[in-house]
Amino acid sequence: MTRQQPAGSGRSGLDLAGLDVRPAQVWGAVRLVPLVRPEPIADLRLHQQVYGEATGVVEVGRRRAYVSYVPHGFVASWSRDGGPAAAYGTQFLDGADPAPATVGLRFHRGMSRRQARGRLRFLPLHLALEGYLALHFGGPSIAWEEWSARALRRGLTPRVEEAYLGADVRGLADALRVFEIHPGQCGVLLHVADTLAAAFVVPHPDDYRALHSTLVRDLYGELIHRYAMLMPAVPDFRARIPEAGIRSLAALRAAAAEQETAWARFHDEVMTGGLLTDDYTWRSVYRMGRFRLSRFLPSFRPKRENHIGEAIVDGAGRVAYLKTFRLSESQIRRGHLLTRLAAHDWHLGETAAELGLTRAQLGLRLEGAGFGALLRQDVLDGYRAASARAAGGPG
User: For position 395, what pLDDT does the model report?
Assistant: 47
Lowest mean pLDDT among 145-149, 198-202, 237-241: 237-241
Q: Are residues 392 and 289 in the same domain?
A: no
Percent of the chain with pLDDT over 90: 41
For residues 223 and 239, what is the distance between their CA atoms, to the nearest angstrom?
A: 30
Residues 291 and 381 occupy one common structural domain:
no
Q: What is the largest CA-CA distance in the chain?
A: 88
In-domain check, residue 27: yes
Mark whether 372 and 280 lie in a shared domain: no
**Final residue of a domain: which of 271, 298, 329?**
329
Mean pLDDT over 55-61 rounds to 50
Instruction: Supply the pLDDT for residue 86.
Output: 38
CA distance 46 to 208: 9
Do both 208 and 71 map to the same domain?
yes
One-letter amino acid of 21: V
Specify if 309 maps to a domain. Answer: yes
Residue 179 lies in a domain: yes
The model's pLDDT over 122-169, given as tens digits with 9 standing for 90+, comes to 777 888 888 898 898 889 989 999 999 999 998 888 888 888 889 999
Neighbours of 249 (CB within 10 A): 8
Mean pLDDT of the chain: 81
Q: How many CB atoms lie within 10 A of CB 287?
A: 12
pLDDT for residue 376: 95
Is 382 inside a domain boundary? Answer: yes
> Could you tell me if 276 and 394 lie in one domain?
no
Indicate if 293 and 230 belong to the same structural domain: yes
Q: Which residues, 6+ apart, have CB-to-CB distance to 207 below 8 Å?
A: 45, 46, 47, 186
Residue 192 or 2, more confident: 192
Task: Using the predicted structure, report yes or no on whether residue 100 has a pLDDT greater than 80.
Answer: no
**Domain range spanning residue 360?**
347-395
What are the angstrom distances between the C-alpha of 97 and each of 93, 102, 215? 6, 14, 41
Domain identity same for 183 and 289 = yes
325 and 250 housed in the same domain:
yes
Give the C-alpha distances (Å, rounded to integers) separating 38 from 17, 184, 185.
11, 7, 9
* Domains of the chain: total: 2
Query: Alpha-carbon dihedral of residues 243, 249, 253, 259, nearest 10 degrees?
Result: 10
E-strand stretches of the chain: 10-12, 20-21, 25-27, 30-36, 45-50, 55-61, 64-69, 72-77, 85-87, 102-109, 112-116, 119-122, 164-165, 185-192, 195-201, 219-220, 280-288, 291-297, 307-314, 319-326
- Is 357 a domain residue? yes
Q: What is the pLDDT of residue 28?
A: 92
pLDDT of residue 318: 87
**pLDDT of amino acid 297:** 95
CA torsion through residues 306, 310, 311, 315, sign: positive
Domain-embedded: residue 46: yes
Reported as a single tens digit per residue, the pLDDT across 301-311 is: 998 999 999 99
Same domain, 304 and 278: yes
Residue 196 sits in the same domain as residue 314: yes
Of 329, 361, 382, which residue is a domain's last?
329
190 occurs within a structural domain: yes
Higher pLDDT, 59 or 322: 322
Strands 55-61, 102-109: pairing is parallel
The yes-or-no verdict on residue 84 having pLDDT over 80 is: no
| Whether residues 386 and 256 fall in one domain | no
Residue 394 placed within a domain: yes
Q: What is the pTM of this model?
A: 0.79
361 and 316 within one domain:
no
Q: pLDDT of 333-381, one tens digit each?
A: 999 999 999 999 999 999 999 999 999 999 999 999 999 999 999 999 9
329, 363, 382: which is the final residue of a domain?
329
